[in-house]
Amino acid sequence: MNIGEVASVSGLSTRMIRYYERIDLIPPSQRTLSGYRVYCERDVHILRFIHHARDQGMPIERVRAMLALWRDRNRPDDEVQAIALSNIDALNARITTLQIMREVLSYLAEHCDDAELPPGPVLDDLPPTTCPKGEHHDS
């Protein structure tokens, strides 16, 4: 596959694929005699992983560590387990934060225009400008 095809199936732009190659996150692609990049299914699998990991906020260095685990089949099991558990902890923390934000936004959507209701406890730490004046719907 050429870089355009790989971009399409991986969800990444050609610019990002080139960038990931430049920073050695992915190995250099194979090249045709005329210099065009050529990719295989394994490359697509790696790029999809990178796309999903980055889309969920995983830092590049953590992605690099995860890819290193996948590539190095001789790495000690306890090291693999420690890195995997660390990543699970980071994901769980992110999930918790996202769930709290969903609750805050849901509460806000339901009560933002109700001037008679005091903010609920979930809004206590939010700044008072959370619901802009122009967004109130007076009856």
Please give the pLDDT value at position 121: 56
pTM of structure: 0.65
Residue 105 is inside which H or E element, if any? helix 77-111
Please give the pLDDT value at position 109: 80
Please give the pLDDT value at position 76: 80
Q: Would you write out the chain's pLDDT as a tens digit for each of its 139 residues?
A: 999 999 999 999 999 999 999 999 999 999 999 999 999 999 999 999 999 989 988 889 989 988 888 888 887 888 778 878 888 888 898 889 889 889 888 877 877 776 655 555 555 554 444 444 444 433 3
Please give the pLDDT value at position 137: 38
Please give the pLDDT value at position 82: 84
Task: Say which DSSP state 76 is in.
Answer: -
Task: Look at residue 130 and give its three-state secondary structure.
Answer: helix
Please give the pLDDT value at position 130: 40
Give residues with Cβ within 8 angstroms of 11, minimum separation 6. Answer: 48, 51
Please give the pLDDT value at position 119: 55
Please give the pLDDT value at position 13: 96
Alpha-carbon span 64 to 90, nearest angstrom: 15
Domains and CATH numbers, the chain: 1-56 (1.10.1660.10)
